Amino acid sequence: MAQIPSAEARAGLKLISPTAIYVILLLAVPLATVLIYSVLTGSRGSVLLPITGENYAELWSRPVYGYIMLKSLLVALTVTFITVMLAYPVAYFVSFHVKPERKSLWLFLITIPFWTSYIIRVSLWFVILGYDGVVDSTLMSLGFMDTQLNIASYSILSIIIVLAHAYAPFAVLPIFVSLEKVDRSLLEAGQDLGESRWSTFLRVTLPLSMPGVIAAALIVFIPTVGDYVTPELVGDGKEPMIANLIETQLLKLANFAQGSAFAVASMLMVGIVSVVFVLLNRRFIGGQK
């Protein structure tokens, strides 16, 4: 019975085929191509046949590449950590202290900034952090200091601040969703059994919301590690991250093979970190049983 595709299976496949064909042609095939190119020999603007591991060897042997990848990873992890830590209390507040009918409004307020031009948002941070910016002029006029801090000139710091701001709503939503799922009677049970509010939070609420925290971390980590605009705009591209490196190899040097190897390596990195996050999540879900 199971071998013959049923009428339902045929109808479903037929219906999804336009979308499926689109993503296969324009996503699966290109990703496969990148994978294949990454083990071919690069030549300016094209690739040649002998299969080689040289592109990956190059990745290992030149410390600058490793440095950039490690830097991207650390920046993204820092941003993820900060974003999730800042977002948790907000999600907690909206879930536990806002009337049910007002919750959507709060979430809407939190998500609006995300939907406004990313580039303009990033650029505006110059106005805040830069020379004569909001931070400096405020602090100076209040007499805290007499020289400009000009935080914008510290590239990595400003990259972290800007990214943490850009992806903040991404972190609030999944945490909020997992907090909403926490059975309120469990909390009452916890307090009924003599736990203080703080220890109820630590022993009941926090573990139950961990899947949301992990999801939030994943959702923030992936786009930040591959961000292109912020390193390019903030600090005039002096602190490139992976995306900028891929661009340099692929476009500026037209080395498809080497660029592909970078792309694959960074996908691999993102993949490994994601799997670690997901495994952590499993552990938490498993621990609840």
Nearer to another protein, 29 or 276 (CB): 29
Nearer to another protein, 184 or 289 (CB): 184
Shortest approach of another protein to residue 171 CB, angstroms? 11
* DSSP 8-state class, residue 196: -
Nearer to another protein, 173 or 208 (CB): 173
Long-range contacts from 226-229, C-beta under 8 angstroms, 24+ separation: 226/266, 226/270, 227/163, 229/118, 229/119, 229/122
Nearer to another protein, 186 or 289 (CB): 186
Shortest approach of another protein to residue 160 CB, angstroms? 14
Shortest approach of another protein to residue 56 CB, angstroms? 17
Half-sphere exposure of 146 toward its Cβ, with a 13 Å CA cutoff? 0
Shortest approach of another protein to residue 45 CB, angstroms? 8
User: Tokens for 182?
Assistant: 């926490």
Nearer to another protein, 210 or 219 (CB): 219
> 42 pairs with which residues across the strands?
47
Q: At what angle do helices 155-166 and 118-129 cross, to 10 degrees?
A: 130
Q: Do residues 282 and 86 make contact, with C-beta atoms less than 8 angstroms apart?
A: no
Shortest approach of another protein to residue 246 CB, angstroms? 6
Amino acid at site 63: P
Rg (CA), the chain: 24
